[in-house]
Amino acid sequence: MEVLYFAWVRDRVGTAREQIDLPDSVSTVGELAHWLASRSSGHAAAFRNCELLRAAVNQEHVPFGHPVAAGDEVAFFPPMTGG
């Protein structure tokens, strides 16, 4: 699985993307976020409050209850604003 990070999420994690092996215990975006938070202090800072994050699976905006699979691309980013 490829995980992409944007804006301040990327800054806190310390990278724009990473390849991970999806653990068997992870089946939703929210479970993935929780698992990622355990990987490092940067990940923990980025995923401390998931209410401040949005997600996309395979370039489609999804809620945190959306399922994920091993071949997916998952992106995490802050809410977007227009102007």
pLDDT at 80: 76
- pLDDT tens by residue, 27-78: 999 999 999 999 999 999 999 999 999 999 999 999 999 999 999 999 999 9
2-77, CATH topology level: Ubiquitin-like (UB roll) (3.10.20)
Query: What's the pLDDT at 83?
Result: 52
In order, the DSSP letters of 14-30 are T-SEEE-PPPTT--BHH
The rounded distance, in Å, linking the Cα atoms of 29 and 55 is 8
pLDDT of residue 82: 56
Mean pLDDT within 13-33: 97
Has residue 81 got a pLDDT over 70? no
Domain residue extents for the chain: 2-77
